[in-house]
């Protein structure tokens, strides 16, 4: 493709004429104000009518390689201004068609014009609806018989001039009355996804900053109850993806997409955000914001407020206050916090320690930085969920960090959610747990994790329908998370809706074929239905996906083949006893295994240990099928009374 296009000096399309030599765009002969970059882009597109001009080609022709510019923002702004001048729209284009994530194409018919536009008071042809009322008169005025006399020619010319003058007067009067072309209305938007912001620094080591800013923008927007905002786990799967935006929107079931970039230069950070109506890839809004690193929280709030304003979604007064409240933060504390989030989001055994270390360092530098406390609390909650340390070691730390966060910011949804986990899983204070779960969801209605954890709470209280609804809501907010999909299956299991549970397990396994956790739920369903051979196969599949060697997995099948279901339970008891020599294994696991084996005395011995440990599996004592072999024993009823479940 050539350098900036040089088509015929005059090009007509629709009611417009472009004069390249004069640098003018005219509409019905009237000059249209158009800045340099939009004009140059129009010239390039007109030089290649019907062809796709890539964004990279526009970059190459219009912005030299050594120019420091946020290209995505600049070209989006220029295209928007060009469409505004033409009265065009991305949703229903007449002139410029967007090729998603690729470039642009000029789609209207074009042809070279004769003479300069400004040399005649009228365009050469009278087009579209403004001229329809004058077309018959104009054609009559132009009909001059051959061999007409000079007088007749003069009269005809005079008539043509009068008609032309009338046309100009009427057109300008109509234009003044109607004003500039109205922009296409913004479609209704009730859901959106923030795609991973692009790291423009050129330094892969700064990727954590772009990811952290994505997380924080999702969290900020999530405070708006009128919006459904997709959670981080799902959107991060599109990092670097080249899928068209409408396809991504269909997969996430959203109306709009926010995409953009982050650029850090010294102690300055710049965010560029673009808002697009996803089904048609229509560009709705674009803006760039720049602040000092110490004002990064205010920067994120400003971006979120601008997006909410653009889509005209209802925001409650309380939400407005929360969106506007952002304190300065020490730049180094923020850097450590974002790095801590980076490690925490890995959710692996080795990643929790560096996550905790970074959060603690951030707190030391900036003791008033609420998010560092909430994520520190969340780190300890996750350690307990993965049984990486005893509950008595972890939950006092959860409680201390969450309460400190609430001292600083009583409206911290994340702190309320962490405190609710402590009340539910450790203190067994059911009323306090529900109060904080509800408060967390009220403050951030788009927190998939809060909905998920509340769903387990509700199910454990035998409020099955409510629990299933919360689990479904969590999955809607995080549709590409295997854990959210699995959690819905678990709630069906607790409700003893085994057919629905099996179907949800199959759906999860189909969507996430490498996810080992779902096979524990297959196993639980099959055991509850006394389908032991299928339970063994499910357990083997889970072990293989979890990394156990095929040879070791085979020994489980051999144990079952030799001694039946007894061999199955004994094999697992031996495995976990060996495992307990190297790591923390909760006593409730052994209680469950001995209950399956039929050894109730051993089962209740381990149950007492689990009770003293404050094992979180006691929260599901009423509902989990794994405890069924013990339910008829009076000793089991004692534990139910000690747990003080609500009636």
Same domain membership, residue 108 and residue 25: yes
- The secondary element (H helix, E strand) that includes residue 98 is strand 96-99
Residues 68 and 95 in one domain: yes
Same domain, 199 and 302: yes
Determine what percent of the chain falls in helix, strand and coil, rounding each to the nearest 5: 60, 10, 30
Cα–Cα distance, 124 to 11 (Å, whole number): 12
Specify which of 10-19, 119-128, 274-283 reaches the highest per-range mean pLDDT.
274-283
- Please tell me which of 53-62, 174-183, 269-278 the model is most confident about, judged by mean pLDDT: 269-278
- 151's CB contacts (< 8 A; 6+ apart) are none
pLDDT score recorded for residue 219: 93
pLDDT at 84: 84
pLDDT for the residue numbered 167: 41
In terms of domains, do 195 and 290 share one? yes
Strands of 16-19's sheet in order across: 30-32, 24-27, 16-19, 10-13, 111-112
- Is residue 248 included in any domain, yes or no? yes
- CA distances in angstroms from 573 to 434, 557, 592, listed in the order given: 35, 15, 10
CA distances from 457 to 101, 312, 351, 374, 538 (A): 43, 35, 27, 20, 27
Residues 198 and 273 in one domain: yes
State the residue for tokens 């055991």.
527
pTM: 0.74
Which stretch of DSSP H or E encloses residue 566? helix 550-579
Q: What is the dihedral of CA 231, 237, 243, 244, to 10 degrees?
A: 10
Closest C-alpha among 34, 48, 62 to residue 105: 48
pLDDT digits (tens, 9 = 90+) for 118-166: 333 323 332 333 333 333 333 333 333 334 444 443 344 444 443 444 4
Whether 631 maps to a domain, the answer reads yes
Of 112, 140, 169, the position where a domain reaches its end is 112
- The C-alpha atoms of residue 6 and residue 621 are separated, in whole angstroms, by 78
Q: What is the pLDDT of residues 87-122, one digit of tens each?
A: 887 877 888 988 877 788 898 877 765 433 333 332
| C-alpha to C-alpha distance for 69 and 420, rounded to whole angstroms | 46
Quote the tokens at residue 210. 């772009």
Residue 164 lies in a domain: yes
173: in domain: yes
Q: What is the pLDDT of residue 51?
A: 86
**Tokens 């000690």 correspond to what residue?**
642
Final residue before a domain boundary, out of 290, 306, 322: 306
CA distances to 133, 158, 177, 183, 217 from 166, rounded to whole Å, are 11, 12, 16, 29, 56
Residue 26's alpha-carbon distances to 31, 46, 187, 283, in angstroms, are 4, 15, 30, 25
Q: 88 near 96, Cβ under 8 Å?
A: yes
Contact 251, 245 (CB under 8 A): no
What's the total number of domains in the chain? 4
CA distances from 94 to 86, 108, 109 (A): 9, 6, 10
Nearest Cα to Cα of residue 330 among 358, 372, 362, 355: 362
**Are 95 and 150 within one domain?**
no
Asked if residue 197 and residue 156 are part of one domain, the reply reads no
Q: Whole-angstrom Cα distance, residue 355 to residue 167?
A: 72
What does the chain come to in residues? 647
Q: Is residue 464 part of a domain?
A: no
Containing structural domain, residue 136? 126-178
- Asked if pLDDT for residue 319 goes beyond 70, the answer is yes
User: Reduced to 3 states, what is the DSSP secondary structure of residue 577?
Assistant: helix
The per-residue pLDDT for 112 is: 66
Average pLDDT, the chain: 85
Do 154 and 199 lie in one domain? The reply is no
Task: Please indicate, yes or no, whether residues 106 and 151 belong to a single structural domain of this protein.
Answer: no
553-563 pLDDT per residue, tens = 999 999 999 99
Q: Please determine, for residue 14, whether its predicted confidence score (pLDDT) is greater than 80.
A: no
Read off φ and ψ for residue 267, nearest 5 degrees: -100, 20
- Tens of pLDDT, residue by residue over 572-614, are 999 999 999 999 999 999 999 999 999 999 999 999 999 999 9
292 and 203, same structural domain?
yes
Q: Which residues, 6 or more positions from 120, have their beta carbon under 8 angstroms from its beta carbon?
A: 29
- For residue 504, being part of any structural domain is answered with no
Whether residue 241 is predicted with pLDDT greater than 90 in this model: the reply is no
Secondary structure of 47-65 as H, E, C letters: HCCCCEEEHHHHHHHHCCC
Q: Are residues 202 and 247 in the same domain?
A: yes
Task: In whole angstroms, give the CA distance from residue 440 to residue 416.
Answer: 5
CATH number at residue 209: 3.40.50.10610
Mean pLDDT (whole number) for 478-493: 98
Answer whether residue 511 shows pLDDT above 90.
Answer: yes
Q: Tell me if 588 sits within 8 A of 608, measured CB to CB.
A: no
DSSP 184-223: PPPPP--EEEEPPPEE-SS-GGGHHHHHHHHHHHHHHHTT
Contact call for residues 93 and 184 (beta carbons, < 8 A): no
Enclosing H/E stretch for 541: helix 532-545
């Amino acid at each position: 493709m050539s350098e900036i296009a040089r088509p015929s000096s005059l090009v007509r399309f629709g009611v417009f004429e472009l004069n390249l030599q004069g640098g003018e765009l005219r509409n019905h002969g009237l000059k249209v104000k158009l800045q340099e970059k939009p004009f140059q882009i129009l010239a390039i597109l007109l030089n290649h009518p019907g062809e796709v001009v890539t964004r990279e080609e526009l970059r190459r022709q219009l912005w030299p390689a050594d120019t420091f510019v946020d290209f995505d923002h600049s070209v989006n702004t220029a295209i928007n201004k060009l469409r505004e001048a033409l009265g065009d729209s991305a949703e229903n284009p007449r002139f410029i068609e967007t090729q998603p994530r690729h470039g642009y194409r000029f789609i209207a018919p074009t042809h070279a014009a004769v003479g300069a536009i400004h040399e005649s008071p009228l365009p050469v042809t009278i087009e579209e609806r403004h001229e329809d009322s004058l077309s018959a008169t104009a054609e009559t005025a132009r009909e001059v018989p051959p061999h007409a006399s000079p007088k007749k020619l003069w009269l005809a010319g005079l008539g043509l001039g009068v008609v032309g003058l009338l046309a100009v007067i009427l057109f300008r009067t109509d234009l003044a009355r109607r004003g500039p072309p109205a922009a296409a209305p913004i479609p209704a938007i009730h859901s959106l996804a923030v795609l991973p912001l692009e790291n423009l620094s050129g330094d892969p080591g700064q990727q954590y900053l772009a990811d952290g800013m994505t997380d924080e923008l999702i969290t900020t927007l999530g405070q708006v109850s009128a919006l459904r905002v997709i959670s981080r786990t799902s959107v991060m799967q599109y990092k670097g993806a080249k899928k068209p935006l409408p396809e991504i929107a269909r997969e996430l079931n959203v109306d709009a997409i926010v995409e953009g970039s982050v650029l850090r230069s010294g102690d300055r950070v710049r965010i560029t955000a673009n808002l697009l109506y996803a089904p048609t890839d229509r560009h709705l809004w674009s803006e760039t914001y720049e602040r000092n690193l110490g004002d990064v929280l205010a920067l994120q709030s400003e971006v979120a407020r601008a997006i909410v304003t653009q889509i005209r979604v209802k925001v409650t007064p309380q939400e407005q206050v929360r969106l506007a409240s952002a304190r300065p933060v020490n730049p180094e504390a923020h850097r450590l916090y974002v790095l801590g989030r980076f490690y925490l989001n890995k959710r692996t055994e080795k990643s929790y320690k560096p996550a905790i270390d970074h959060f603690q360092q951030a707190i030391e530098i900036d003791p008033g930085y609420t998010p560092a406390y909430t994520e520190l609390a969340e780190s300890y909650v996750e350690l307990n969920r993965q049984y990486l340390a005893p509950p008595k070691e972890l939950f006092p730390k959860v409680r201390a960090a969450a309460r400190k966060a609430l001292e600083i910011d009583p409206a911290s949804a994340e702190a309320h959610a962490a405190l609710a986990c402590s009340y539910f899983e450790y203190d067994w204070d059911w009323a306090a747990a529900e109060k904080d779960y509800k408060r967390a969801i009220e403050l951030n209605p788009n927190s998939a994790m809060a909905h998920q954890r509340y769903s387990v709470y509700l199910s454990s209280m035998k409020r099955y329908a409510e629990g299933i609804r919360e689990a479904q809501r969590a999955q809607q907010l995080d549709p590409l998370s295997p854990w959210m999909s699995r959690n819905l299956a678990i709630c069906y299991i607790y409700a003893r809706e085994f057919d629905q549970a099996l179907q949800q397990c199959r759906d999860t396994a189909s969507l996430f074929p490498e996810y080992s956790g779902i096979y524990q739920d297959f196993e639980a369903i099959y055991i509850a239905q006394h389908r032991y051979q299928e339970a063994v196969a499910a357990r083997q599949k889970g072990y293989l996906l979890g990394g156990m060697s095929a040879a070791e997995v085979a020994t489980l099948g051999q144990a079952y083949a030799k001694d039946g279901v007894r061999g199955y339970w004994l094999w697992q008891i031996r495995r976990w006893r060996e495992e307990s020599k190297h790591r923390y294994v909760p006593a409730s696991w052994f209680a469950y295994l001995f209950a399956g084996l039929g050894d109730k005395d051993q089962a209740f011995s381990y149950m007492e240990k689990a009770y003293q440990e404050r094992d979180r599996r006691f929260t599901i004592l009423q509902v989990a099928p794994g405890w069924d072999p013990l339910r008829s024993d009076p000793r089991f009823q004692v534990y139910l009374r000690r747990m003080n479940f609500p009636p």
